[in-house]
Amino acid sequence: MKKQLEKIESLAREEVLSCEDIKMLDSLRVKYLGKKGEVTAILKQMGRLSAEERPIMGQLANKVRGDIESTISNKLKDLKQAEQDKAIRNETIDITLPGNAKQIGKLHPLTIVANEIKEIFIGMGYNIADGPEVEYDYYNFEALNLPPDHPARDTQDTFYITDNILLRTQTSSVQVHVMENQKPPIRVISPGRVYRSDAVDATHSPLFNQIEGLVIDKGITMADLKGTLEMLMKRLYGDDCKIRLRPHHFPFTEPSAEVDVMCFNCHGEGCRVCKNEGYIELLGAGMVHPKVLEGCGIDSEVYSGFAFGLGLERIAMRRYNINDMRLLYENDLRFLEQF
């Protein structure tokens, strides 16, 4: 038995020292020291020894077990250190080399202009209002004084989900929600996506963005509307920017006006871009119709207000001299990287 133990120790030491893998080292530990290992098998034979031999063989067996455990432990430390050294060599970074440039995203031109418009109105004391894109017919049309036979309610212009539910065609519906839930004074803008059944071309899209504004208070006049829009346009296009108001008709405002901005190309002289008008139509506005106020529970004899609506795409196109709306939606990096 003594010779067996000495032989096991010698073989174990040889195999452990030549081992180059932690997984293999663990297999050797099980082979020699496990429940069914070779050292354990020898210990199970102790019962056949005499009383005098057992202490001697037990002491020898424990020494052999301890030596093998120590050898395995030392080898495990060496293997772990070798793995760490290898990882350090492989992961070494030469800090003198130039780094790899990371591509950083940029804001979309529509987002840039939208954020700027929001900041302008927040600076004038306005709040930002939001509302559902899937809207009831009442809020999108009826509450805004659009009767059932109005052309804008034709299914060719509007995406209807049911007879009473549709994709909003304007963010004016948000203004109705605000007037129903908030008492004057009211100063809000309502930016968001709107949907109309339009064919896609250079100036039209079935999905586009609007920013509409609403002010309700005592003594509000067209002069307040004009001053607000002049401030907006000067902040967007420069102090030399001029606007003009032309009479128009909108069911939800009275009086109503189309608002034109001085052509950025010819500065009012007349050119191909503005069709020799000197001005370009940009948005619609007017004084809130008394019927709309009354429908929202606001006394039109006490309060008045103005509203306006502008297309974000049109503002961005004028701002950056973009001649095709489709460029804003095609996600072409060659175009977007310019901003």
Residues 189 and 272 occupy one common structural domain: yes
pLDDT of residue 156: 64
Residues 63 and 118 occupy one common structural domain: no
Q: What is the pTM of this model?
A: 0.67
Residue 157 has a CB neighbour count (10 Å cut-off) of: 13
Longest Cα separation, the chain: 123
Residue 101 within a domain: no
Residues 113 and 63 occupy one common structural domain: no
pLDDT in tens, 242-251: 899 999 988 8
Please provide the DSSP assignment of 85-138 as one string.
HHHHHHT---TTSPPPPPP-----HHHHHHHHHHHHHHHTT-EE----SEEEHH
Please provide the DSSP assignment of 9-56 as one string.
HHHHHHHHHH---HHHHHHHHHHHHSTTSHHHHHHGGGGGS-TTHHHH
Question: pLDDT category, 48, cuts 50, 70, 90?
Answer: low
The C-alpha atoms of residue 191 and residue 312 are separated, in whole angstroms, by: 9
Q: To the nearest whole percent, how much of the chain has pLDDT over 70?
A: 94
Judged by average pLDDT, the poorest of 4-18, 103-117, 245-259, 313-327 is: 4-18
Q: 29 versus 183: which is more confidently predicted? A: 183
Non-local (6+) Cβ contacts of 259 within 8 A are: 229, 243, 244, 245, 246, 281, 282, 283, 284, 285, 308
pLDDT of residue 14: 84
Residue 103 within a domain: no
Is a pLDDT exceeding 90 seen at residue 256?
A: yes
Is a pLDDT exceeding 70 seen at residue 46?
A: no
Q: 288 versus 73: which is more confidently predicted? A: 288
Residue at a domain's end among 90, 122, 143: 90
Residues 202 and 282 occupy one common structural domain: yes
CB 173 within 8 A of CB 131: yes
Is a pLDDT exceeding 90 seen at residue 39?
A: no
CB 184 within 8 A of CB 217: yes
CB 39 within 8 A of CB 68: yes
Buried b / exposed e along 257-292 (16+ C-beta atoms within 10 A): bbbbbbbeebeeeeeeebeeebbbebbbbbbbbbeb
Judged by average pLDDT, the poorest of 118-127, 206-215, 259-268 is: 259-268
Question: pLDDT category, 152, cuts 50, 70, 90?
Answer: low
Residues 61 and 129 occupy one common structural domain: no
Residues 15 and 149 occupy one common structural domain: no
Q: Which structure tokens are listed for 305?
A: 């207000």
Residue 203 within a domain: yes
Non-local (6+) Cβ contacts of 117 within 8 A are: 189, 191, 211, 232, 236, 312, 315
CB 225 within 8 A of CB 287: yes
> How many domains does the chain fold into?
2
Tokens 């174990």 appear where? 12
Residues 205 and 313 occupy one common structural domain: yes
pLDDT in tens, 199-253: 888 778 899 999 999 999 999 999 999 999 999 999 988 888 889 999 998 889 9
The C-alpha atoms of residue 148 and residue 84 are separated, in whole angstroms, by: 78
The C-alpha atoms of residue 200 and residue 114 are separated, in whole angstroms, by: 22
The domain in which residue 31 lies consists of 2-90
Residue at a domain's end among 62, 90, 118: 90
Average pLDDT over the chain, rounded to whole? 87
Residues 220 and 248 occupy one common structural domain: yes
Judged by average pLDDT, the poorest of 35-49, 110-124, 241-255, 282-296 is: 35-49
Residue 104 within a domain: no
pLDDT in tens, 67-114: 888 888 888 888 888 888 888 888 777 778 887 888 888 899 999 999
